[in-house]
Protein backbone atom coordinates (compact mmCIF):
# COMPACT_ATOMS: atom_id res chain seq x y z
CA UNK A 1 0.00 0.00 0.00
CA UNK A 2 2.84 2.40 0.90
CA UNK A 3 4.30 1.24 -2.39
CA UNK A 4 1.14 2.14 -4.30
CA UNK A 5 1.04 5.59 -2.73
CA UNK A 6 4.71 6.21 -3.51
CA UNK A 7 4.48 5.19 -7.12
CA UNK A 8 1.30 7.21 -7.67
CA UNK A 9 3.02 10.18 -6.00
CA UNK A 10 6.14 9.81 -8.13
CA UNK A 11 3.97 9.52 -11.20
CA UNK A 12 2.31 12.84 -10.39
CA UNK A 13 5.64 14.45 -9.45
CA UNK A 14 6.95 13.53 -12.89
CA UNK A 15 3.97 14.86 -14.75
CA UNK A 16 2.90 17.85 -12.65
CA UNK A 17 5.78 18.73 -10.39
CA UNK A 18 5.87 18.45 -6.62
CA UNK A 19 4.09 21.67 -5.77
CA UNK A 20 1.06 20.84 -7.88
CA UNK A 21 0.84 17.29 -6.52
CA UNK A 22 -1.60 17.42 -3.63
CA UNK A 23 -2.49 14.68 -1.20
CA UNK A 24 -5.97 14.84 -2.65
CA UNK A 25 -4.67 14.13 -6.13
CA UNK A 26 -2.48 11.26 -4.98
CA UNK A 27 -5.47 9.78 -3.18
CA UNK A 28 -7.69 10.17 -6.24
CA UNK A 29 -5.05 8.53 -8.43
CA UNK A 30 -5.25 5.32 -6.41
CA UNK A 31 -8.98 5.57 -5.72
CA UNK A 32 -8.83 6.62 -2.10
CA UNK A 33 -9.80 9.60 0.03
CA UNK A 34 -7.10 11.96 1.32
CA UNK A 35 -7.46 10.84 4.92
CA UNK A 36 -6.53 7.25 4.07
CA UNK A 37 -3.01 8.27 3.13
CA UNK A 38 -2.38 9.44 6.68
CA UNK A 39 -2.73 5.85 7.88
CA UNK A 40 0.45 5.07 5.94
CA UNK A 41 2.43 8.32 6.04
CA UNK A 42 2.63 10.84 8.85
CA UNK A 43 2.58 13.78 6.50
CA UNK A 44 3.25 14.76 2.91
CA UNK A 45 7.00 15.05 3.43
CA UNK A 46 7.14 11.45 4.65
CA UNK A 47 6.21 10.42 1.12
CA UNK A 48 9.02 12.62 -0.15
CA UNK A 49 11.38 10.93 2.26
CA UNK A 50 10.35 7.44 1.16
CA UNK A 51 10.92 8.31 -2.50
CA UNK A 52 14.26 9.92 -1.62
CA UNK A 53 15.30 6.61 -0.06
CA UNK A 54 14.42 4.78 -3.28
CA UNK A 55 16.50 7.32 -5.16
CA UNK A 56 19.56 6.67 -3.01
CA UNK A 57 19.09 2.93 -3.48
CA UNK A 58 19.13 3.45 -7.25
CA UNK A 59 22.12 5.77 -7.14
CA UNK A 60 24.00 3.37 -4.89
CA UNK A 61 23.33 0.50 -7.31
CA UNK A 62 24.56 2.59 -10.21
CA UNK A 63 27.76 3.76 -8.49
CA UNK A 64 28.65 0.28 -7.31
CA UNK A 65 28.87 -0.89 -10.91
CA UNK A 66 32.36 0.62 -10.57
CA UNK A 67 33.34 -2.26 -8.28
CA UNK A 68 34.95 -5.29 -9.76
CA UNK A 69 35.39 -3.92 -13.22
CA UNK A 70 39.17 -4.14 -13.03
CA UNK A 71 39.37 -0.37 -13.41
CA UNK A 72 42.37 1.66 -12.40
CA UNK A 73 41.93 4.15 -9.57
CA UNK A 74 42.02 7.02 -12.05
CA UNK A 75 39.36 5.38 -14.22
CA UNK A 76 37.17 4.78 -11.19
CA UNK A 77 37.60 8.40 -10.15
CA UNK A 78 36.67 9.76 -13.56
CA UNK A 79 33.77 7.34 -14.08
CA UNK A 80 32.37 8.18 -10.66
CA UNK A 81 31.54 11.73 -11.64
CA UNK A 82 30.22 10.63 -15.01
CA UNK A 83 27.87 8.11 -13.39
CA UNK A 84 26.71 10.72 -10.89
CA UNK A 85 25.93 13.15 -13.68
CA UNK A 86 24.21 10.42 -15.66
CA UNK A 87 22.00 9.64 -12.69
CA UNK A 88 21.15 13.31 -12.27
CA UNK A 89 20.22 13.89 -15.90
CA UNK A 90 18.35 10.62 -16.34
CA UNK A 91 16.40 11.05 -13.09
CA UNK A 92 16.11 14.80 -12.58
CA UNK A 93 13.08 14.51 -10.32
CA UNK A 94 14.81 11.98 -8.10
CA UNK A 95 17.91 14.15 -8.05
CA UNK A 96 15.88 17.17 -7.08
CA UNK A 97 14.29 15.30 -4.20
CA UNK A 98 17.58 13.89 -2.99
CA UNK A 99 19.93 16.85 -3.29
CA UNK A 100 18.04 20.09 -3.85
CA UNK A 101 14.57 20.18 -2.29
CA UNK A 102 14.35 21.99 1.03
CA UNK A 103 11.60 19.85 2.43
CA UNK A 104 13.55 16.65 2.04
CA UNK A 105 16.42 18.05 4.07
CA UNK A 106 13.99 19.29 6.71
CA UNK A 107 12.42 15.84 6.98
CA UNK A 108 15.82 14.14 7.16
CA UNK A 109 16.78 16.50 9.96
CA UNK A 110 13.49 15.83 11.73
CA UNK A 111 14.05 12.07 11.55
CA UNK A 112 17.78 12.31 12.20
CA UNK A 113 18.32 9.78 9.39
CA UNK A 114 21.48 11.06 7.73
CA UNK A 115 22.90 7.61 7.03
CA UNK A 116 20.91 7.15 3.81
CA UNK A 117 23.04 9.65 1.93
CA UNK A 118 26.09 9.02 4.06
CA UNK A 119 26.74 5.60 2.52
CA UNK A 120 27.00 7.20 -0.88
CA UNK A 121 29.31 9.91 0.41
CA UNK A 122 31.53 7.32 2.08
CA UNK A 123 31.80 5.54 -1.24
CA UNK A 124 32.91 8.71 -3.01
CA UNK A 125 35.38 9.49 -0.25
CA UNK A 126 36.83 5.99 -0.53
CA UNK A 127 37.32 6.37 -4.27
CA UNK A 128 39.06 9.72 -3.75
CA UNK A 129 41.29 8.27 -1.04
CA UNK A 130 42.24 5.31 -3.22
CA UNK A 131 42.95 7.63 -6.12
CA UNK A 132 45.33 9.67 -4.00
CA UNK A 133 47.07 6.62 -2.62
CA UNK A 134 47.38 5.26 -6.13
CA UNK A 135 48.81 8.46 -7.51
CA UNK A 136 45.77 9.06 -9.68
CA UNK A 137 45.20 12.38 -7.95
CA UNK A 138 47.44 14.96 -6.30
CA UNK A 139 47.63 14.03 -2.64
CA UNK A 140 46.06 16.34 -0.09
CA UNK A 141 43.09 16.73 2.23
CA UNK A 142 40.77 13.84 1.32
CA UNK A 143 37.73 15.52 2.87
CA UNK A 144 38.25 18.72 0.90
CA UNK A 145 38.96 16.92 -2.36
CA UNK A 146 35.86 14.77 -1.98
CA UNK A 147 33.75 17.81 -1.31
CA UNK A 148 35.32 19.64 -4.24
CA UNK A 149 34.51 16.80 -6.62
CA UNK A 150 30.97 16.44 -5.30
CA UNK A 151 30.35 20.19 -5.42
CA UNK A 152 31.55 20.31 -8.99
CA UNK A 153 29.21 17.65 -10.34
CA UNK A 154 26.35 18.71 -8.09
CA UNK A 155 26.79 22.24 -9.32
CA UNK A 156 26.47 21.20 -12.94
CA UNK A 157 23.50 18.96 -12.23
CA UNK A 158 21.59 21.43 -10.10
CA UNK A 159 22.20 24.39 -12.41
CA UNK A 160 20.77 22.43 -15.32
CA UNK A 161 17.90 20.87 -13.39
CA UNK A 162 16.87 24.18 -11.87
CA UNK A 163 16.99 25.92 -15.26
CA UNK A 164 19.90 28.27 -14.66
CA UNK A 165 21.68 27.58 -17.93
CA UNK A 166 19.57 29.49 -20.42
CA UNK A 167 22.62 31.46 -21.57
CA UNK A 168 23.81 28.22 -23.14
CA UNK A 169 21.88 27.11 -26.26
CA UNK A 170 19.79 24.08 -25.26
CA UNK A 171 21.22 21.84 -27.95
CA UNK A 172 24.78 22.73 -26.92
CA UNK A 173 24.12 22.22 -23.20
CA UNK A 174 25.00 18.55 -22.95
CA UNK A 175 28.30 19.02 -24.76
CA UNK A 176 29.19 22.04 -22.61
CA UNK A 177 28.48 19.99 -19.49
CA UNK A 178 30.56 17.10 -20.79
CA UNK A 179 33.34 19.49 -21.77
CA UNK A 180 33.20 21.21 -18.38
CA UNK A 181 33.51 17.85 -16.65
CA UNK A 182 36.45 16.94 -18.85
CA UNK A 183 37.98 20.30 -17.95
CA UNK A 184 37.53 19.59 -14.27
CA UNK A 185 39.15 16.18 -14.68
CA UNK A 186 42.01 17.54 -16.76
CA UNK A 187 42.52 20.16 -14.08
CA UNK A 188 43.04 17.43 -11.49
CA UNK A 189 46.01 15.71 -13.04
CA UNK A 190 47.21 12.26 -12.21
CA UNK A 191 50.52 12.32 -10.32
CA UNK A 192 53.27 9.75 -10.17
CA UNK A 193 52.14 6.86 -7.96
CA UNK A 194 53.44 7.32 -4.40
CA UNK A 195 54.56 3.70 -4.03
CA UNK A 196 53.91 2.24 -7.46
CA UNK A 197 53.93 -1.54 -7.63
CA UNK A 198 52.73 -2.76 -4.25
CA UNK A 199 50.08 -0.04 -3.89
CA UNK A 200 48.57 -0.57 -7.33
CA UNK A 201 48.60 -4.32 -6.83
CA UNK A 202 46.88 -4.03 -3.47
CA UNK A 203 44.27 -1.69 -4.81
CA UNK A 204 43.61 -3.82 -7.87
CA UNK A 205 43.18 -6.92 -5.74
CA UNK A 206 40.94 -5.28 -3.14
CA UNK A 207 38.81 -3.80 -5.90
CA UNK A 208 38.00 -7.24 -7.31
Binding residues (CB under 7 A) for DNA: these are 1, 20-25, 27, 31-36, 38-39, 42-45
Closest by Cα among 203, 73, 192 to 135:
192
Q: Does position 51 bind its own copies by CB under 8 A?
A: no
In the complex with its own copies, the residue whose CB is nearer, 20 or 24, is 20
Least distance CB 75 / its own copies (angstroms): 18
Least distance CB 146 / DNA (angstroms): 35
Q: Are 2 and 50 in contact (CB under 8 A)?
A: yes
In the complex with DNA, the residue whose CB is nearer, 26 or 203, is 26
CA distance 158 to 150: 12
State the CB neighbour count (10 A cutoff) for residue 43: 13
Least distance CB 106 / its own copies (angstroms): 8
CA distances (Å), origin 40, targets 3, 53, 65:
10, 16, 34
Q: Are 157 and 178 in contact (CB under 8 A)?
A: no
Give the interface with its own copies as residue ranges (CB under 8 A).
Answer: 17, 19, 99-102, 105-106, 108-109, 114, 117-118, 121, 138, 140-141, 143-145, 147-148, 150-156, 158-159, 162-168, 176-177, 179-184, 186-189
Amino acid sequence: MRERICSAAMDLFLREGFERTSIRRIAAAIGYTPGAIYSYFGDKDDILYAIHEQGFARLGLLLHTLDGGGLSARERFERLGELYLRFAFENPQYYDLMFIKDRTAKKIEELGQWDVGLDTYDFVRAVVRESMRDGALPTGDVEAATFALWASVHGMASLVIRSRCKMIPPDALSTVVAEAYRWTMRAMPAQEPAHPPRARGRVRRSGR
